[in-house]
Amino acid sequence: MLKKVTITLLMLAVIAAVMLLIIIQYVKPTKSLDLQYKEIAISNKIAEMILSRKLDVRLSEEEVNQLLKKQLASHSTLPHDFRMEGAELNLQGAMVEADVNVRWRERIPIGAHAMFTLAWDPPNLVIQHVNTQIRNWQLPNAWLQLAPIEIPLQSYLPKLIGIKNVVFEDNAILIQLKPFQ
């Protein structure tokens, strides 16, 4: 009798270990991502603005990617022992799709797909987390809900120039400026 119980417990332990390995392989990131970013300087675009005679600056998807990666890097510690290690962002109007690599409890690497919304709430560009999924499995928002991140766009501009409005285009953000703030 004791021998049957021992064998049964051993088999259950082996099955649990195999299931854990399968789950870890399932959630493992499919590509290597980082949070390295390049500083963008909106003020460098002022010369382009003068040549085009329009009071607006267009940030390309790559520039928005760099701007958002900078913010994500400074907010890489997430709730429930998660830490963001990398991101690749795709701008779609006021929505941002992000492939992200996170690590849970400094041990288990996880590849996820997150959705964010962008909104202009003067004087900040606000990034709001919408949802996260791992492969085809939607995480409950209670498990991983990120606080809104605010980017003070005005800090990237010269002092005499203000922001009138921000327009979200398919693959860019148009910042409409006003002189002599």
The rounded percent of the chain whose pLDDT value lies above 70 is 96
Q: 64: helix, coil or strand?
A: helix
* pLDDT (0 to 100) of residue 13: 92
Task: Express as a percent the part of the chain with pLDDT over 90.
Answer: 45
Q: What is the pLDDT of residue 162?
A: 85
β-pair partners for 172 = 60
Summarised one tens digit per residue, pLDDT across range 89-132 is: 999 999 999 999 999 999 999 999 999 999 999 889 999 999 99
Q: Cβ neighbours of residue 152 under 8 Å, at least 6 residues apart?
A: 123, 124
In this prediction, residue 76 carries a pLDDT of 87
Give, in degrees to the nearest 5, the angle at Cα 33 between 28 and 38: 165
Looking at residue 43, its pLDDT comes to 63
Q: How far apart are CA 175 and CA 181, in angstroms?
A: 15
- Residue of 103, 120, 106 whose CA lies nearest to 154: 120
pLDDT in tens, 15-55: 999 999 888 888 899 899 999 999 887 766 767 777 777 88
pLDDT in tens, 142-173: 777 788 989 888 887 778 888 899 999 989 99
For residues 137 and 143, give the distance between their C-alpha atoms in angstroms, rounded to a whole number. 13
Give whole-number Cα distances, 110 to 51, 103, 171, 181, in Å. 46, 6, 27, 45
Q: What is the pLDDT of residue 181?
A: 58
The pLDDT value given to residue 87: 92
pLDDT confidence of 179, banded at 50, 70, 90?
A: confident
pTM: 0.81
Confidence of residue 57 (pLDDT cuts 50, 70, 90): confident
Residue 47 makes CB contacts below 8 A (sequence gap 6+) with none
Total Cβ atoms within 10 A of residue 144: 19
